[in-house]
Structures are given as C-alpha cells and as structure tokens.
Amino acid sequence: MKVIVAPDSFKGSLTAAEVAEVVSAALEQAVPGCEVCRLPVSDGGEGLVQALAPVLGAVLASAQVHGPLGGMTSAAYAVKGDLAVIEMAAASGLELLEPDELDVMNADSRGLGELILDALDRGCREFLIGIGGSATNDAGMGMLHALGWRFLDASGNVLSPKGASLESVVEIDDSKADARLQEARFRVACDVDNPLYGPQGAAAVFAPQKGADPRQAEALDRGLRNFARVVRAKTGADLQAVPGSGAAGGVGGALSAFLAAPLLPGAHLVLSALGFDALAAGADLVITGEGCLDAQSLHGKACFAVLEHCRSLAVPAVALCGIVKDTAALSALGFEKILPVKPGGQSLEEAMRKDAAQANIRKAVLGLFGPGGSFRSPSPGEV
C-alpha cells in the first residue's frame, strides 16, 4: 500500500511537518510495510519556506525585523541564487502574538517589507512571497512604508502605516521607494481569493479572527474602500477587481498594485513545486489536513487543492482536521472521509496542546484502517 501524507499545519498547535510525522508513524503501525511519502504542504502561510526550501535546494537566511505590533523578532526565509522565498507569517503573523495581544487596528506589515529589504541587500531580485497567516489589516501600508512609500493625510502629515490610519489616507508619496524594486520581480502565493472590501472582503471576513470587534471591522472596511480609491487615483489600479487583493488584510492588493505581482493560488503553486502529481499518481490513498475546515477553506486552502489534484488522478483523499464546520457542503466535494480529530468532550484549548493534538491525530489515523491494514470506507451518515 502506498500512502501520500500531505497535510498543512494545524495552526497554533503543530507544523505541517509535525503533522506528517505523526500520521506517518500511525500508518506504519496500522499498515505494516506501507510505503509512506511525507509531503508537508502550505497554501502560502506558515510552512511555505519549510515546504519549498528542501525542494529548491535553498539555504535559510534570517533578519531582525519588526513584528506586527512593533517588537523585534527574528524571521527566516529561503534563498536560492537570486530567488528569495518569504512567508509573511514569519514577520507579521498571528503566530507571533498571544490571543490577548491581538490588535488589528494597530498591527502593521512593516516586518514583511524589512524582509524584502534584507533579501534585496543579499542580491535577490526574484521573490516568491506567501502572505497567509497575517495578523494585520493595513492594506500593506506597513510593508510599503518599509520600502520607502509614505502615506499622507489631508494636512500632508505622514501617517502611521496601520489599519487605524486607512480612512485618513488622501495621498501616496512614492518618491523615496527603493530603486532596486524596479529590477525585482514578485510572485505572491495567496491562500484566499477574497476581494479587498465588502461582505467577502479582508475586514469583514478576517479582521474578527485578528481581534477586531464589529465596530472595528466596519471601520477597517471603510478604510479599505478609501485606500482603494486613493490607489486608483495614484496608479490606475482597481484593487477590488483583483481576486486575492483582500488576502493578508490587503497586502495582496498592495503587492499587485505597487510591485506588479501576480496573485497566484498558493497551494497549487506549492503542490506543483513539490511534484505532487507525479508522486501521488498510482497511490492508494492521500491523507491531508489542517486545523479547521470550513466554507472559507474552499477559497484557496491547501486541503482542497490537494483534493482537486487527487480527483484528477482518481486517488482517494482523506482530510484530518481539528474541527470541521459546514459539514454538508464540504462532504459533497469528494473527500473519501473528513475526520475531525478533537474528541467531543475535550476543550479546544486542551486539544490544541501539542501532545494532545499528536495523540488525537494518531488515534484518528489508526481508526481509518481495519484488520490487516485495510482502508475502511465511510459508514452511512459518517463524515
């Protein structure tokens, strides 16, 4: 039996590589002699560098940069020749903050811009930037500020580049933008395809996950609308028309408008780079997974990219997840099985502990197989 283990991370609990390790060990116990291929994946969020660096033969570099709320942090990225692979989450990510520290009105993406500067200093001119997992909703102002742009209010004052300033932007000054950027080419690995503003925009959908209350989410949405108007007047770019412009609180739109970066489905990009189709062709089963599966997962998340590839290869796929929402909609998409691994009586806080998550995943994988290591098809009514 050949099984491909291709999970994303369980955010706040286990990395994609750690999930793959637990699943592989359980498989080797459940199906002795099973051929297991570990292939941790990413949709452009945390884990992008870890997934691609070995495939590319890249080396790791690091820089001291500002975190989402201004404190300094060390962020790693990958370098291969003049290519830099950067994940925004390492510099401006939710993973850098405790739940009680979330402050999306004041968080900024400056650290991402500082990583780009560091890579420019190392001679990099090709950039692949994953923008999933951000703690920000600043429309990329922090990133652009680090690269030399300035954002001005009606009195000509330079604004602090954060979400709370979006409504006050009336002018953009690019006179001091780093000249080396004109030699650079950017690609962006997006984990979502949301527009910049509106009911499906960055603020409405994602700001609450980053600490915004309803009033703040509405203010951020107004700010993003204002920012889009100013950008259109400055560059001619219609950010709202670009799928993925709302990714990372508007960083997707900023990279598209100011650095001419195409916004690409990150999970498919990673699967292509990993040679997933060639490895999975003829496999008996693919096991993928992530911390939470819901309707938003359909818009670019790794699990569903894996499923699409599996369907084209006629290989059954199973999804492991900490919790699952929108069960009916997700079950109809073609997974052989969707397995929530959190036991019913266990709190989410307890389930997210690393040891508990590992134990829950191991138990779920063992339960997939019957006597003799045969894969169990779902029972009627089973998720």
On the CB side of 309, CA atoms within 13 Å amount to 28
**Percentage of the chain modeled with pLDDT above 70:** 94
At residue 225 the predicted structure's pLDDT band, cuts being 50, 70 and 90, is very high
Q: What is the pLDDT of residue 294?
A: 72
**Residue 168, token pair as written in the block:** 């006050």
Per the rule left: phi > 0, alpha: psi between -120 and 50, beta: everything else, 264 is: beta
The set of residues, in sequence order, having a beta carbon less than 8 Å from that of 40 and lying 6+ positions away, is 6, 7, 8, 15, 16, 17, 19, 20, 47, 50, 51
Q: How far is CA 218 from CA 89, 161, 239, 256, in A?
A: 24, 18, 19, 24
If one counts every other C-beta atom within 10 angstroms of the C-beta of residue 207, the result is 26
Q: What is the pLDDT of residue 297?
A: 59
- Domain closes at, from 266, 284, 310: 266
Q: What is the pLDDT of residue 113?
A: 98
Q: Do 254 and 179 fall within a single domain?
A: yes
CATH code of residue 252: 3.90.1510.10
Q: Do 35 and 60 fall within a single domain?
A: no
- Domain closes at, from 266, 301, 335: 266
- Tell me whether residue 345 is in a domain: yes
Say if residues 80 and 56 touch (Cβ distance below 8 Å). Answer: yes
362: part of which helix (H) or strand (E)?
helix 354-366
Q: Do 75 and 147 fall within a single domain?
A: yes
Q: Is the pLDDT of residue 299 over 70?
A: no
What is the pLDDT averaged over residues 294-303? 69
Tell me the CA end-to-end span of the chain in Å, nearest whole number.
Answer: 24
Tens-digit pLDDT profile for residues 302-351: 888 999 999 999 999 999 998 887 666 676 778 888 888 988 888 888 98
DSSP assignment letter at 147: T
Q: Measured in whole angstroms, how far is the alpha carbon of residue 383 from the centre of its chain?
A: 26
- Domain closes at, from 231, 266, 301: 266
- Tell me whether residue 381 is in a domain: no
**Percentage of the chain modeled with pLDDT above 90:** 75
Q: Is the pLDDT of residue 278 over 90?
A: yes
Q: Is the pLDDT of residue 72 over 50?
A: yes
- Tell me whether residue 286 is in a domain: no
Total domains in the fold of the chain:
2
How far is residue 9's CA from residue 267's CA, in Å, rounded to a whole number?
Answer: 13
Structural domain boundaries, residue 21 = 2-40+293-373
- Tell me whether residue 276 is in a domain: no
Q: Do 141 and 247 fall within a single domain?
A: yes
What is the pLDDT averaged over residues 173-179? 98
What is the pLDDT averaged over residues 211-216? 97
Q: Give me the amino acid identity at 383.
A: V
Residue with more model confidence, 321 or 170: 170
Q: Do 301 and 256 fall within a single domain?
A: no
How many residues make up the chain in this entry? 383
Q: Is the pLDDT of residue 168 over 60?
A: yes
Q: Do 254 and 310 fall within a single domain?
A: no
**Residue 157, token pair as written in the block:** 């004052």
- Tell me whether residue 284 is in a domain: no
Q: What is the pLDDT of residue 12?
A: 81
Q: Do 247 and 309 fall within a single domain?
A: no
44-58, 107-121, 166-180: range with lowest mean pLDDT = 44-58
Q: Do 6 and 66 fall within a single domain?
A: no
CATH code of residue 24: 3.40.50.10350
Tens-digit pLDDT profile for residues 188-200: 999 888 999 999 9
Q: Do 52 and 36 fall within a single domain?
A: no
What is the pLDDT averaged over residues 227-239? 97
- Contacts within 8 Å (CB) and 24+ apart, 365-373: 365/22, 365/23, 365/26, 365/27, 365/30, 365/287, 365/320, 366/26, 366/29, 366/30, 367/339, 368/30, 368/318, 368/337, 368/339, 369/30, 369/31, 373/1, 373/30, 373/31, 373/32, 373/34
How far is residue 239's CA from residue 139's CA, in Å, rounded to a whole number?
Answer: 10
**Residue 34, token pair as written in the block:** 């099973």
Q: What is the pLDDT of residue 323?
A: 81
Q: Do 226 and 106 fall within a single domain?
A: yes
Q: Do 331 and 230 fall within a single domain?
A: no
